[in-house]
């Protein structure tokens, strides 16, 4: 009997280092990661909407979308909410700490498809994180897109991430930014209510729009329903889904839904592909 | 005349065994390996560098284990199967393969129930090194695979080797030689005719045997298989023996009474997601996952960490998982499928529905294991028929 190591090792993480850590809200934080191997760092590329598996040795791995600018793949921002076993350990990492990273995985946002169109972003809660890379991409190539409309909603106003970023985007030409909080605290200047209410204020051409939705599925379905009612075709509305990704390769089966593995065939789907499965309990 | 050395030589030269596409002229007229010469097959494989795995009786069931002597085969044993039941019985003849199947097909040999994916170490400065797990190279020859097992294997090949290649599976698959056998005694639970996968072998193997009273008709489907065949003490079968083989194959197909209501149930199942039958079957289903464990095509697995006590090293492991468990649908803090109704529906709509989109065919090969090994005897053919026959609300 002999032993050999196959050349391709899709399950093997790369080592990454925490370059910086920022506390965003009470339970949300951002880890800026850098691959420690220079060759791996140079060859790493990601598209907006893709995710990495972050692996804490001895604890496990969690799928986290990449929130930073895709043109700067040397520093990869991951904005995370501490909700589970792995993310609670990720929360304790500090600059200099090491961890494993595999990725990027999945099909991201249809940036090429969206060129020449109004770009409408509707997000809820931490759903803004997977779209931030797409917004950065569009902002850096502002002339390739027409109007840019960013709508973000949270339940509690204290959970609103990145106020400064939203303020900066709001100052760009042909750009609308509206924020909503269902349960605002004193001093909240945005809308009180649901993010879908903000569609009333959004100015876009329903026939020339690419809509990117990310957040809780009831929110995405409500927004889709409003958008299709306004005349946006189902194949121009994209949703980013999340399921229990473990392998990221379409092997482990946890993210299987209908004809898809969300980790590989998604996480971004046009509504006309996936809409028939959403809203059914168990899928 | 090729020798055992030639078997090894061909084997080395053509990684893949039954992964090779069949070459013309390999499938010649079958010849007979006399019953008394069956050991010659095991010996030829051994001489070619293979360790052999064959069916054996263990703990009241027929299972695949390493074999070196043809006497270890289940000589004279049959297996009676029904919903929730599997019993071995003495047949009173010398047949070795006169039973349909045991609890496991080829799945555990290639997609290991438990496997280390990689190792890690952390040094005093906190640097982490991830190292791949070496694959052990050992050539195995499996004797006794059925047509349904081969169909399931082809599906796992698609799952684990297409698009993203699973390194452990790929190595074990390349090192596996297959000797299949035409199924002559389907169980009451079998329905491979309705799925189009059996009972006779038509490819996807290196060698295929048809068991007759006098011995075994041998056919080769790959170069590797032909090289093994050519070392065997084969004789010309009689005309009667060829007729016996044909009659036996037809009888095995005719004997099957179960069937799925169609080969493509995708639309019918997804159109009936709120059918009352899902709740009804959930009343009977124990959500134990036995059906998944014995299913030759189920591939779900979960990953977990195993760390040393001081946290300086560890392994990343994977093991078989089941969509009937609560954890399978865990998504930060909640369960997508909190009850048996949604879990059974997940299993069936994927197996008989989603697989068509993902792998170009149903995920069911008609082996009937999920029926026999279900502790309460839930019958997939009956449930599929009930859900597809009448439209739900």
Residues A254, B300: C-beta atoms closer than 8 Å: yes
Residues of chain B with Cβ-Cβ distance to A16 below 8 Å are none
User: Exposed, middle or buried by CB within 10 Å (0-12, 13-18, 19+), for A246?
Assistant: buried
Give the Cα separation of B124 and B113 in Å (integer): 34
Residues B132, A83: C-beta atoms closer than 8 Å: no
Mutant choice from A259, A267, A276, A280 vs B, greatest count of B C-beta within 10 A? A259
Among chain B residues, CA nearest to A15: B128
- Confidence bin at A148 (pLDDT 50/70/90): very high
Give the Cα separation of B320 and B302 in Å (integer): 6
Would you write out chain B's pLDDT as a tens digit for each of its 393 residues?
Answer: 334 444 444 444 344 445 555 444 456 688 999 999 999 999 999 999 999 999 999 999 999 999 999 999 999 999 999 999 999 999 999 999 999 999 998 999 999 999 999 999 999 999 999 999 988 899 999 999 999 999 999 999 999 999 889 999 999 999 999 999 999 999 999 999 999 999 999 999 999 999 999 999 999 999 999 999 999 999 999 999 999 999 999 999 999 999 999 878 999 999 999 999 999 999 999 999 999 999 999 999 999 999 999 999 999 999 999 999 999 999 877 899 999 999 999 999 999 999 999 999 999 999 999 999 999 999 999 999 999 987 655
Give the Cα separation of B239 and B125 in Å (integer): 77
Residues B117, A11: C-beta atoms closer than 8 Å: yes
Residues of chain A with Cβ-Cβ distance to B342 below 8 Å are 281-282
**3-state SS, residue A230:** helix
Backbone phi, then psi, for B301, in 5-degree steps? -145, 160
Q: Which member of B270, B305, B330 has the closest CB to residue A58?
A: B305
Can you give B379-392 as a three-state secondary structure string?
CHHHHHHHHHHCCC
Q: Which member of A3, A100, A259 has the closest CB to residue B354?
A: A259
Map out the domains of chain A with their CATH numbers.
14-105 (2.40.30.10), 118-277 (3.40.50.80)
Among chain A residues, CA nearest to B309: A58
pLDDT for residue B9 = 43
Angle value at C-alpha A267, between A165 and A83, nearest 5 degrees: 65
Q: Which member of B165, B300, B304 has the closest CB to residue A253?
A: B300
DSSP string, A120-154: EEEEEGGGGHHHHHHHHHHHHTGGGSS-EEEEEEE
Residues of chain A with Cβ-Cβ distance to B334 below 8 Å are none
DSSP-derived letter for residue A36 is: S
Residues B120, A99: C-beta atoms closer than 8 Å: no
Is the dihedral angle over the CA atoms B59, B61, B67, B69 positive or is it negative?
positive
Listed residue (B264, B293, B266, B286) closest to B369, CA to CA: B293
Q: Which member of A4, A8, A253 has the closest CB to residue B137?
A: A4
Segment A164-205, tens digit of pLDDT: 999 999 999 999 999 999 999 999 999 999 999 999 999 999
Assess whether the previous peptide bond of B322 is cis (omega < 30° from 0): no
For the whole prediction, is pTM greater than 0.90?
yes
Q: Which residues contact A225 (CB under 8 A, 6 or more apart)?
A: none
Q: Which member of B128, B131, B337 has the closest CB to residue A282?
A: B337
Residues of chain B with Cβ-Cβ distance to A215 below 8 Å are none
Segment A7-33, tens digit of pLDDT: 789 999 999 999 999 999 999 999 999
Give the Cα separation of A221 and A279 in Å (integer): 8
pLDDT for residue B261 = 92
pLDDT for residue A153 = 96
Residues A10, B164: C-beta atoms closer than 8 Å: yes
Percent of chain A at pLDDT > 90 equals 88
Give the Cα separation of A237 and B233 in Å (integer): 67
What are the angstrom distances between the C-alpha of B236 and each of B41, B210, B239, B241? Answer: 17, 14, 9, 10
Give the Cα separation of A147 and A144 in Å (integer): 10
User: Are the C-beta atoms of residues B53 and B142 closer than 8 Å to each other?
Assistant: yes
Residues of chain B with Cβ-Cβ distance to A59 below 8 Å are 305
| Token pair for B391 | 């439209």
Among chain A residues, CA nearest to B132: A12
Give the distance, in angstroms, between the CA of residue A89 and the centroid of all CA atoms in the same chain: 21
| Token pair for B4 | 């055992």
């Amino acid at each position: 009997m002999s032993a050999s190591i196959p050349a391709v090792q899709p399950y093997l993480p790369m080592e990454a280092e925490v370059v910086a850590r920022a506390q965003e809200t009470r339970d949300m934080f951002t880890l800026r990661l850098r691959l420690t191997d220079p060759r791996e760092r140079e060859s790493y590329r990601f598209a907006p909407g893709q995710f990495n598996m972050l692996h804490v040795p001895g604890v496990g791995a969690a799928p986290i979308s990449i929130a930073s600018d895709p043109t700067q793949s040397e520093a990869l921002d991951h904005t995370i909410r501490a909700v589970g076993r792995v993310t609670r350990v990720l929360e304790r990492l500090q600059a200099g700490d090491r961890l494993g990273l595999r990725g990027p995985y999945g099909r991201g946002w249809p940036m090429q498809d969206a060129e020449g169109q109004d770009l409408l972003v509707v997000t809820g809660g931490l759903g803004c994180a997977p779209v931030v890379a797409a917004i950065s991409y569009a902002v850096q190539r502002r002339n390739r897109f027409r109007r840019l409309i960013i709508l973000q909603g949270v339940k509690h106003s204290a959970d609103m991430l990145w106020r400064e970023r939203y303020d900066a985007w709001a100052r760009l030409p042909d750009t609308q930014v509206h924020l909503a909080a269902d349960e605002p605290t004193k001093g909240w200047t945005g809308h009180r209510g649901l993010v879908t209410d903000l569609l009333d204020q959004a100015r876009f051409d329903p026939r020339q729009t690419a809509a990117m939705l990310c957040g809780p599925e009831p929110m995405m379905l409500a927004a889709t329903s409003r958008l299709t009612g306004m005349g946006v075709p189902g194949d121009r509305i994209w949703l980013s889904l999340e399921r229990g990704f473990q392998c990221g390769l379409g092997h482990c089966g946890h993210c299987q839904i209908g004809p898809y593995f969300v980790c590989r065939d998604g996480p971004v789907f046009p509504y006309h592909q996936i809409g028939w499965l959403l809203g059914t309990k168990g899928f | 005349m090729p020798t055992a050395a030639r078997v090894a030589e061909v084997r080395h030269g053509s990684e893949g065994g039954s992964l090779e596409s069949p070459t013309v002229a390999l499938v010649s007229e079958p010849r007979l390996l006399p019953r008394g010469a069956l050991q010659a097959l095991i010996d030829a494989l051994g001489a070619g560098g293979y360790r052999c795995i064959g069916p054996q009786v263990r703990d009241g069931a027929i299972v695949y284990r390493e074999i070196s002597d043809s006497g270890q085969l289940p000589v004279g044993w049959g297996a009676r199967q029904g919903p929730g039941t599997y019993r071995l019985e003495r047949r009173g003849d010398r047949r070795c393969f006169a039973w349909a199947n045991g609890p496991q097909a080829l799945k555990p040999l290639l997609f290991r129930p438990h496997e280390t994916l990689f190792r890690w170490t952390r040094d005093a400065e906190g640097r982490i090194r991830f190292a791949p797990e070496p694959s052990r190279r050992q050539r195995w020859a499996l004797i006794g695979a059925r047509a349904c097992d081969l169909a399931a294997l082809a599906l796992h090949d698609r799952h684990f080797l297409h698009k993203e290649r699973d390194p452990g599976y790929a190595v074990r698959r390349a090192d596996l030689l297959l000797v299949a056998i035409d199924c002559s005694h389907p169980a009451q639970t079998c329905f491979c005719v309705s799925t189009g996968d059996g009972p006779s072998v038509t490819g996807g193997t290196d060698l295929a045997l048809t068991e007759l009273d006098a011995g075994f008709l041998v056919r080769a489907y790959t170069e590797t298989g032909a090289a093994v065949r050519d070392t065997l003490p084969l004789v010309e079968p009689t005309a009667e023996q060829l007729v016996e083989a044909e009659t036996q194959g037809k009888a095995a197909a005719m004997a099957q009474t179960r069937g799925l209501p169609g080969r493509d149930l995708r639309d019918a199942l997804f159109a009936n997601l709120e059918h009352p039958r899902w709740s009804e079957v959930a009343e009977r289903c124990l959500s134990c996952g036995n059906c998944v464990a014995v299913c030759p095509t189920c591939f779900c697995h979960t990953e977990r960490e195993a760390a040393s006590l001081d946290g300086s090293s560890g392994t990343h492991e994977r093991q078989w998982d089941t969509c009937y468990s609560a954890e399978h649908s865990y998504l930060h803090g909640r369960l997508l499928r909190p009850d048996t109704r949604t879990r059974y529906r997940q299993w069936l709509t994927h197996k008989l529905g989603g697989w068509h989109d993902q792998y170009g065919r149903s995920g069911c090969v008609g082996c009937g294991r999920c029926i026999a090994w279900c502790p309460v005897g839930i019958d997939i053919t009956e449930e599929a028929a009930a859900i597809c026959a009448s439209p739900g609300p």
